[in-house]
């Protein structure tokens, strides 16, 4: 069962849209870049979209998104968080994200 105000998630394009669907089955708000028609957009646009939707971005891309996070700090911009993960099977990712959301 979701906590009273769990974060909304935005899954970067390297994560399967099936993962977003599975997360929603547990009552959480999750959107994939595929569903948002943001596939193949630059990383800066991905983070901007997630921030505009008040969503934490979930990604495997540590190098690029940690640099973008630093840029946001310098420019005093806000985003709703970046959740970094290693590339794992969808079942393991689902388990990890559900533990985080709960």
The pLDDT of residue 4: 67
Q: Say if 76 falls within a structural domain.
A: yes
What's the domain range around 88? 8-101
83: number of Cβ within 10 Å: 17
What's the Cα-to-Cα distance from 99 to each of 14, 32, 37, 59, 62, rounded to whole Å? 21, 19, 28, 17, 21
In whole angstroms, give the CA distance from residue 75 to residue 99. 32
Q: Say if 1 falls within a structural domain.
A: no
Domain count, the chain: 1
**pLDDT digit of tens for each residue in the chain (102 aa)?**
445 688 999 999 999 999 999 999 999 999 999 999 999 999 999 999 999 999 999 999 999 999 999 999 999 999 999 999 999 999 999 999 999 999
Using an 8 Å Cβ cutoff, are 2 and 28 in contact? yes
The pLDDT of residue 5: 81
pTM above 0.85, yes or no: yes
Q: Say if 34 falls within a structural domain.
A: yes
The pLDDT of residue 80: 94
3 state SS of 76: coil
3 state SS of 82: strand
The pLDDT of residue 1: 47
């Amino acid at each position: 069962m979701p906590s009273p105000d769990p974060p909304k998630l935005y899954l970067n394009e390297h994560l399967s849209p099936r993962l977003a669907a599975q997360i929603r089955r547990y009552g959480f708000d999750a959107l994939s870049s595929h569903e948002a028609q943001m596939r193949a957009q630059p990383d800066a646009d991905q983070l901007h979209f997630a921030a505009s939707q008040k969503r934490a971005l979930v990604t495997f891309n540590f190098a690029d998104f940690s640099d973008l996070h630093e840029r946001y700090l310098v420019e005093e911009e806000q985003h709703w968080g970046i959740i970094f993960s290693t590339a794992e099977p969808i079942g393991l990712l689902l388990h990890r994200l559900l533990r985080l959301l709960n």
